[in-house]
Amino acid sequence: METHQMVDPHESALQECDRLFKHFDERATRHKKSFSRYKYSSVALTVGVTVISALQAIYTPSLAWQWVLPVASGLAAYFTTMVHATNAQELWLRARTMTHRLAAERFLFLQSAGPYVGGQANDVRLFSNRLMEVWAGGHAQWEQAIEQQKVV
């Protein structure tokens, strides 16, 4: 005989909020790392190209080292392009905004504040609807950012 556990709608809604928060938090962390990696690599390589150019002007490089400047210059151009081409900073900020919105919604729900003042019977349903609105809005913004990335 199967036993069905009663699922508390309040706890279920909070678990879904936590799952969505974790999803957007992981996404924000991933995009932040990508943006930082591209940005700092770009800056370091650009400085490196400047230093190498100055050293090559002072000292005549041996034939074995003449490849360094073009390679460093090409990598600097690549990382600079990737900063803009991937929209990593924008995607990072969008995902982080979603985590803030979800945290704020969760806080209001737990405190019975804002739109959750009053009828407790409808609070869980309202909270669930608002979570899905936040998620749908975040997903639509993410799709828009990806489409803009394809155009660039």
Average pLDDT, the chain: 86
What token pair was written down for 26?
A: 């992981």
pLDDT over 80 (residue 151): no
Give the per-residue pLDDT at 4.
Answer: 56
Contacts of 52 (CB under 8 A, 6+ apart): 68, 69, 72
What confidence tens digit (pLDDT) does each residue in 53-78 have? 898 888 887 887 888 899 999 999 99
Dihedral of CA 25/29/31/35: which sign? positive
Of 100, 95, 102, nearest to 145 by C-alpha is: 95
- The string of pLDDT tens digits covering residues 19-55 is 999 999 999 999 999 999 999 999 999 999 999 989 8
pLDDT score of 7: 74
C-alpha distances in Å from residue 126, one per residue of 10, 93, 133: 11, 27, 10
CB 108 within 8 A of CB 115: yes
